[in-house]
Structure 1
Amino acid sequence: SSFPTSHYHGITVIINLAQITDEMKRILELLSIDLTRISKFTEKQDFYMVRASENVRHIFSELYTVQNHIKSSYIRIKILELLLILSETDFDADKKKCVYFSKEQRDCVLKIHDFVVEHITEHYTIEELAEQFKISPTAMKNCFRGIYGVPIYTYCRTYRLQIAEKLLREGQLSVAEIAAKIGYINPNKFTSAFRTEYKMTPTEYKKNV
């Protein structure tokens, strides 16, 4: 696995069924969480990758703003939400939705990914990238989304904002300098995009970290 900025903030959830107490089972049953169904699926294969839906994104997005003194309890609540969603997931149907691409297409899209990441301050059209890497625009769009889960423009925007979030945490550059560093000529557009992603302005985020 790799992460766009090599700067990962995340949560690993490990379920040890042998350690679940009767009290925990009662809580899970009360919340309609079916761990038996989840565990039966995991017995079929070593791992299964589930694309993040809007519901899953919502579960974890608020962790960026929760106050530290309640974060531990808040994470427990979010894990229960995640388990509830997994209890209702149709794993077999998800597997049937998988789209496969040729090795040539995958290799080409990986090169495109590396290129746009290395030139993140630049803005390329789909047609420009397709022509440069000798792939059809439709194949490029479909394969990129198949590998990375989102359209290429969405990926680049999120990547830029992840870099911005890292720079804001470091606190060495102003908001305007960060905007320019990730390819936003207009700082107001950067502020708007950051607020959409992190539910607060860059200035507010900088004060809270």
Structure 2
Amino acid sequence: MENVCLSEELIKSQVLCAPETKVVIHGEDCSVYKIENETGEGVITRYPVFPGIEILYNDIHMTNGVSHNEAPRPNVVEINHCRVGRFECEFSRGGSIYLGEGDLAVNVMTNITNQTWFPLSHYHGITIAVDIPVAESILKQLSEVMGKGLDFDLSAIRDRLCAKNSCFVMRATDSIQHIFSELYRVPQDLKDGYFKIKVIELFLFLNSPELVNKREERQYFSRKQIDKIKEIRQYLIDNVAQHITLNELSQQFNFPLTSMKLCFKEVYGSTINGYMQAYRVQMAAKFLRETTDCVTEIALKVGYQNSSKFAELFKQFMGQPPSEYRKSFVQ
């Protein structure tokens, strides 16, 4: 019963959860939680690993996350890995961090989350929650059995990576990919033992003193700037058939050009032009699947006067010309 209570406390500390989260399944070996609001929904599946350690699989299809009113918890750390999509976390003390595909973040729960967003409207990733005093007790027992090499200090890892109450962010590397990629395809009958092995492997990785030198330092953008970038993105989408230059955007939204470009890339993980190219292709693909409009008409609808240039771009993104793409959806 004590371990169940511990897990409930840990799940409430996650940046993707809130007290109002609905419990879909509550089991000893697996629990499923659902978040839902006007922008979509998310499902989080939780597995206990060791006492004080649990893994959560996050499958989010929404834009706005949840607000948080968490009490500071210096002994709880969460480790987040982004597999697909993008995740934005705003802290109560100010500032935001963004995780893109393959990125890793380590945060101590005295660095309180104020709000979360998902700029691309989808996010798939893993959270590993650690209650340090409880986890260290079981890990100490393991090190006594298995010998030297597993005697890492979780408190020291927290203090080194999250110094001055900061969030440690490390951009995608082969090492991170190796550790987490296997966690996304664990056979169901091997989960219990495999989770334990992978968590220990992750702690060994985080225990490296050299890791702190790989911290990603990002330029700070205010909430006002970030909100304005989201307005710019919405404006571009609402006027997707028009050709709007970056200089025009800068002037219209009173946002210095260089800062606007940097802030957009931080929020959405892409340049403005690159983001809109991908958006236009996805919108065109939807028209090809769901309407009988000719390719030239669709090109105009998504902002391309030259249908040949549009077809070339479409093939670059989708792997085939618009006409062939449409045929593949005709019964």
Same fold (TM > 0.5) = yes
Of residues 261, 274, 296, the one that matches 1:176 is 296
Tell me the CA shift for residue 189 of structure 1: 0.5
Structure 2 unaligned residues grouped into runs of 5+: 1-15, 17-38, 50-54, 59-75, 83-98, 103-173, 181-204
1:86 paired to 2:119 = no
Structure 2 distance, partners of 1:157, 1:147, is 17
The structure number with the bigger radius of gyration is 2
Change over 3 Å in CA distance of 1:52–1:132 after alignment to 2: same
Are the aligned partners of 1:191 and 1:202 in contact in 2 as well (CA < 8 Å)?
A: yes
Tell me the CA shift for residue 176 of structure 1: 1.4
Change over 3 Å in CA distance of 1:16–1:110 after alignment to 2: same
Tell me the CA shift for residue 16 of structure 1: 6.0
Identify the residue that residue 96 of structure 1 maps to in structure 2. Answer: 216
Of residues 101, 120, 143, the one that matches 2:240 is 120
Identify the residue that residue 52 of structure 1 maps to in structure 2. Answer: 101
1:139 paired to 2:188 = no
Change over 3 Å in CA distance of 1:84–1:17 after alignment to 2: farther
User: SS of 1:96's equivalent?
Assistant: coil
Are the aligned partners of 2:232 and 2:253 in contact in 1 as well (CA < 8 Å)?
A: yes
Equivalences, count? 150
After superposition, the CA RMSD in angstroms is: 3.5
Tell me the CA shift for residue 96 of structure 1: 2.4
- Deviations 1:111-158, CA, capped at 9 Å, x for gaps: 111111111111122111111111100110000000000000111111
Deviation >4 Å, runs of 4+: 12-18, 88-95
* Structure showing greater relative contact order (alpha-carbon pairs closer than 8 Å, 6 or more residues apart): 1
Structure 2 distance, partners of 1:109, 1:176, is 31
User: SS of 2:262's equivalent?
Assistant: helix
Change over 3 Å in CA distance of 1:16–1:195 after alignment to 2: farther
Are the aligned partners of 1:109 and 1:144 in contact in 2 as well (CA < 8 Å)?
A: yes
Change over 3 Å in CA distance of 1:204–1:15 after alignment to 2: farther
TM-score, length-normalised on structure 1? Answer: 0.60
What amino acid does structure 2 have at the position aligned with 1:193?
A: L
Are the aligned partners of 2:240 and 2:301 in contact in 1 as well (CA < 8 Å)?
A: no
1:151 paired to 2:271 = yes
Structure 2 distance, partners of 1:15, 1:169, is 37
What amino acid does structure 2 have at the position aligned with 1:51?
A: G
What amino acid does structure 1 have at the position aligned with 2:290?
A: E
Identify the residue that residue 196 of structure 1 maps to in structure 2. Answer: 316
Tell me the CA shift for residue 100 of structure 1: 2.8
More helix per residue: 1
